[in-house]
Amino acid sequence: MNWKGGKEVPYKTYARTLITNKEAANILCLKESTIRGRKAGTEKLTRIKIGKRGVRLILQEVEAHLNRLIAASKH
């Protein structure tokens, strides 16, 4: 959640939906440490820093990565 004008605004209200490493790991069926370590092809995903320690990924990029993996497995 993000604070804007004293009200809590969910990340989903922005143009891009931001998700945590844990959520990305669940989508991609990987361990969270794999996402954090930028392994298994996830090094291409954009990381967005939130504050000093927080990192978020763009949901649309994670879904596109998953779709590429699915398409590659069908060939």
pLDDT tens for 49-68 read 998 999 999 999 999 999 99
- Phi/psi of residue 31, each to 5°? -75, 150
Q: Detail the DSSP E strand segments found in the chain.
A: 2-4, 7-9, 18-19, 47-50, 54-58
- CB-based contacts of 48: which residues, under 8 Å, 6+ apart? 18, 55, 56, 57, 58
> What is the span of the domain harbouring residue 42?
2-73
SS3 call for 29: coil
pTM of the model: 0.75
Q: What is the mean pLDDT of residues 22-38?
A: 95
Q: How many domains does the chain have?
A: 1
